[in-house]
Amino acid sequence: MFSPISSIIHNKRVVPVVFLAPFMIVFLVFKVYPVILAVIMSFQNFQGVQSQEWVGLANYQNVFQLVRFNQAVTNTTVYTVGTLLILIPLPLVLAVLLDSGRVVQSTLFRTLIFLPALTSLVVAGTVFRLILAEDGFLNLFLSSTLGISHPRWLETAELALPSLILVATWRWTGINILYFNSGLVNIPRELYEAAAIDGATPIQMFWRITLPLLRPTTLFVVVLSIIGGYQVFVEPFILYTGGGGPGDGALTMALLIYRTAFTSFNFGTAAAMGVILATIIFVFSLIQFRFFGVFRSEG
């Protein structure tokens, strides 16, 4: 005879629910519930636990009237576009080269390029503060090789975003190479062999075989880069000791949300900013899905 417990364990409908229950509970409590709470809070004058007043769309109107918010949106968008222009083509080309078999000790190169992703952002930000200082390693290199006089990377508003993009390039290139490598592994080698027999050059094989078949991987990397770009927080916070940089040149949306919530204690406005940020990420992600033809019907 089966006991009630054993009958439940052997029930094909119950077992998946039991295994999924811990994840679903954590997901609902720590992901879904905070999102719902943030949306509700964005319609309230939320100054504390006891100070909650429904104000409708007033928080959103205040947000769009803030000069610093417009500056933060512009900075974050420029940063995201800058990272996309570097962190998509550069890792893709490097991944193709490492996968081509023409690079000696390619495994060693993959390991070395991936190491920055394992470094703590706090440590990386502190190190780059030393590298980008006026008498830091980067300026010494530029002055000795290119004759460029010491740019003030951390003191000039125009150089704030390039500094952040430089940090992002150093940190995330290895991760994206890993993503593209995983996509390259799934491309049948017979396609390259057949193309080589037909006289195709490596560049032609890259454009006609590699890029089309890497479309799902490229979409994945692009969407992740957009999400990461618009959510950037730690880099400017550490690089500029509290964030913002000179003239708010490195002020990002996530950083402004943090300041609004935990410095000004205006949680309703901060929640409205968070909803706007989530909407921007969602819209750009949908655009990418449409651009890569995800919603295109087969046949």
Instruction: Dump pLDDT digits (tens) for 235-272.
Output: 888 888 777 678 888 899 999 999 998 888 888 999 99
Q: Mean pLDDT of all residues in the chain?
A: 85
Q: Over the stretch 224-237, which tens digit does the pLDDT of each residue have?
A: 999 999 999 988 88
Q: Is residue 240 part of a domain?
A: yes
Which DSSP letter does residue 53 get? E
Distance CA 203, CA 138 (A): 34
Q: Which domain holds residue 183?
A: 67-291
Which amino acid type is present at position 232? Answer: V
Residue 59 lies in a domain: no
Q: Whole-angstrom Cα distance, residue 221 to residue 87? A: 9
Query: How many domains does the chain contain in total?
Result: 1
* Burial tier of 191 (Cβ tally within 10 Å: 0-12, 13-18, 19+): middle
| Residues 215/296, Cβ–Cβ less than 8 Å | no
Task: Tell me the sheet residues that pair with 290.
Answer: none
* pTM, 2 dp: 0.86
Instruction: Tell me the per-residue pLDDT of 142-159, one tens digit each, with 9 for 90 and over.
Output: 887 877 777 888 888 888
The angle subtended at Cα 119 by Cα 116 and Cα 120, nearest 5°, is 140
Instruction: Identify the residue with better confidence: 222 or 56.
Output: 222
Asked if residues 227 and 185 have their Cβ atoms less than 8 Å apart, the reply is no
Average pLDDT for 117-141:
83
Q: Is residue 34 part of a domain?
A: no
Residue type, position 274, single letter: G
pLDDT tens digit string along 266-278? 889 999 999 999 9
Six token digits for residue 281:
């990420």
Is 209:96 a contact under the CB 8 Å cutoff?
no
Indicate which CATH number applies to the domain containing 266: 1.10.3720.10
CA distance 227 to 30: 19
299 — pLDDT class (breaks 50, 70, 90): very low
Local structure of residue 207 (DSSP, 8 states): I
**Phi, psi of 52, rounded to the nearest 5 degrees:** -135, 120
The mean per-residue pLDDT over the stretch 25-49 comes to: 87
Whether 6 is in a domain gets the answer no
User: Is 45 among the domain residues?
Assistant: no
52 burial via Cβ count (<10 Å: 0-12, 13-18, 19+): middle
Instruction: Enter the tokens of residue 4.
Output: 């009630």
On the question of pLDDT at 2 being above 60, the answer is no
Q: Is residue 169 in some structural domain? A: yes
Task: Tell me how far CA of residue 176 lies from CA of 156, 187, 236, in angstroms.
Answer: 30, 17, 21
In a domain, 141, yes or no: yes
> Does some domain include residue 1?
no
